[in-house]
Amino acid sequence: MSVLPALDVGLALLVVGVAAWTIAARNLFASVVGYVAYGLLLALVWVRLYAPDVALTEAAVGGGVTGVLLVTAGKRLDALASAEVGVPPGRALKILAGALAALVAGALAWVVLTLPSPAPSLAPAAAEAAAGPGAGLGNPITAVLISYRSFDTMLEKVVLILAVLGVWSVGADAAWGAAPAPLRKVRPDGAMILLAQFLAPVGLLIGVHIFWVGADAPGGAFQGGALLAAMGMVAMMARLAEPPRIDSRKLRLALVAGPAVFLIVGVAGLALADNLFAYPQNFAKPLILFIEAFMVLSIAVALPMLVCGPPNGSPK
């Protein structure tokens, strides 16, 4: 057995093992730590599937930011002092659920083993988008996201804003307009502050770089924005920054900037390029980078606000 297949099998066993651990772990914290490790391992699997863009997103959003979200949620739940958790189901239900899970997994595995050959593909259409109206974007994923399926990507940003609105509206009526609770209650120790002071500027640079090279190399608005968001959260965890008040005009403008600019440019395409969400031939690449810059801003603001949760405290 050569090295790469052995690595693949080892990686597959690790991912499945860590996934089983997150389900079987005794307490929530252990389970969440398992989930973060699982996200990083899964990113390696994505690299092996020739999907570095997905790997970056999975590592940043699927593992990292979701991990912070769940750890923060677990701590807030503990602070509520409502330790009473429902009882686990009885043995019969467990066996039934296990059988159902095995059945679904087995059916999926059967589908995977019997996928049609040759496989259907939209790659030629995407190649056309990357070379044509996308005007020389080297990264086909970015071409698909911003050109070929631009409407989806715009609506996905709207989903992010809707989720932020949903999270905010869950807060108490009296707290509307106030800032969310800080990401951690107690003052952090020196090590955390030092880490944030060193890591945040470096991460900021890497985030902007990943966005900038995304036109031609793996990376892009999602991955860069998620990294900027993570750096914001590191600063908040070290209490070097506090979550902003949700009635702040700057915050709200930053949230809607991405989809708003995308929509305006898309509608302008009707007049300039004869189609909704089409870009003028010779001006497409700068325009796409322009849209992406505002999307990075919106993602970098929306993700930390989603983790921070509903407003808390007294409005002024």
Partner 1 sequence: MTPPILAGLVGAALVGFGLYGLICDPHPLRKLLAFNLVGSGVFLVFGIVARRGAAAGFAFDPVPQAMVITGIVVAFAASALAVALILRLAAASGKVTLDPRAWTKRDDGGAR
Which 3 state secondary structure label does DSSP give 108? helix
Residue 75: count other Cβ atoms within 10 Å of its Cβ.
14
Do 251 and 300 touch, CB atoms closer than 8 A? no
| In the complex, minimum distance from the CB of residue 197 to partner 1, in angstroms, rounded to a whole number | 27
Instruction: Pick the closest to residue 39 from 8, 24, 18, 70 (CA basis).
Output: 18
Q: Residue 13: CB partners within 8 Å, gap ≥ 6?
A: none
Is 213 among the residues that bind partner 1 (CB under 8 A)?
A: no
Is 261 among the residues that bind partner 1 (CB under 8 A)?
A: no
Amino acid at site 105: A
Site for partner 1, residues 263 to 282, rule: CB under 8 A:
none
| In the complex, minimum distance from the CB of residue 12 to partner 1, in angstroms, rounded to a whole number | 5
Q: Please say which residue, 88 or 190, places its beta carbon nearer to partner 1.
A: 88
| In the complex, minimum distance from the CB of residue 182 to partner 1, in angstroms, rounded to a whole number | 15
Among 62, 203, 207, 219, interactor with partner 1 by CB under 8 A: 62
Site for partner 1, residues 217 to 256, rule: CB under 8 A:
222, 226
Q: Please say which residue, 121 or 314, places its beta carbon nearer to partner 1.
A: 121
Site for partner 1, residues 133 to 192, rule: CB under 8 A:
140-141, 143-145, 148-149, 152-153, 156, 159-160, 162-163, 166-167, 170-171
Say which residue the tokens 């955390």 belong to: 192
Instruction: Pick the closest to residue 160 from 316, 301, 19 (CA basis).
Output: 301
Among 83, 92, 186, 271, interactor with partner 1 by CB under 8 A: 83
Helix axes 284-308, 66-79, angle to 10 degrees: 20
Beta-bridge mates of residue 311:
180
State the Cα–Cα distance between residues 268 and 63, nearest whole angstrom: 37
Is 106 among the residues that bind partner 1 (CB under 8 A)?
A: yes
Is 75 among the residues that bind partner 1 (CB under 8 A)?
A: no
Site for partner 1, residues 192 to 211, rule: CB under 8 A:
none
Say which residue the tokens 């007294």 belong to: 314
Is 20 among the residues that bind partner 1 (CB under 8 A)?
A: yes
Q: Please say which residue, 162 or 202, places its beta carbon nearer to partner 1.
A: 162
Taking contact as CB under 8 A, which single stretch among the options 105-113, 199-207, 230-238, 262-270 is the one that binds partner 1? 105-113
State the Cα–Cα distance between residues 74 and 23, nearest whole angstrom: 16
